[in-house]
Every structure is written in C-alpha cells, then in structure tokens.
Structure 1
C-alpha cells in the first residue's frame, strides 16, 4: 500500500524564518510626520531623532502601521510620499 502522507524534508531556513518573525513581532512601529507633512513608518521610536510634528503608535506590525498611515492620508493628516 502507498502511504497516505507525504514526507517533507526538513528546511534548515525554517527556524531562521521563525526567528525573524519573532523579532519583527517584538519591534514597535511608529508613524512619524515630517516637516513636509509626509508621514514615514519607522521601527522603534528614536529619542535622538530630529523633532517631528506628530507621532502615532506604537503598532505591533509594519502592516498595521501601513494601514494606519493610509487612513491618516485619507483623513488629510498626512501627505502621500
């Protein structure tokens, strides 16, 4: 009889991919408005960064920060890049 399951060979990159996901989940993402009115997404808030108009966050993922930035652009609070 043929086996009903498929054997998958181990992928040595999988643990690294999991580690990268864990690291990105631990990173806090912020939306920072520049003097030009454009908003950029930055990992972690940097207190030594130049002063900015407004900051939103933290967000748990970059995707969440991107979605929020789109909302801020639609609301007229940020200029598109």
Structure 2
C-alpha cells in the first residue's frame, strides 16, 4: 500500500459494539466514522448482555470499571 493511500473505516450502528470499535480504533490512531439510523437516543426497555470476554474487552479499553456499577449480573456469570 502506498503511503498516500488512506483507509476509510465506516462503522454502521452506534450500539455498544459500534461505539466500542470506534473507541478502540481512535486509541490506535485510526480514524473512523460511526453511522446510526436513529436521530435520537432512546430507551426501549431492552437489555444488553455482556459475557466474560466482552467485559475483558471493555476492561482493556478502560471502560469496564465505569460500566460495572450499572450492570446486574446474570445468574451463573461474573462481571
């Protein structure tokens, strides 16, 4: 790849995976853009399940400790 070439990264969806991916890329110095269909934030009453490997990834980004106080553990799993 030529030094003048740039890769454009587009992340579709501003959910937990899309935003976490954008944060990880940003911390590596890689530019990205996140696209979201919804015009506003909304609380739909849905739950998000994050299992052990997901928490490990969030810990690596330094945001796991900030999220744990808001989480309710599932039976049989640990945060």
TM range (shorter): under 0.3
Structure number with the bigger relative contact order (C-alpha 8 A, sep ≥ 6) is 1
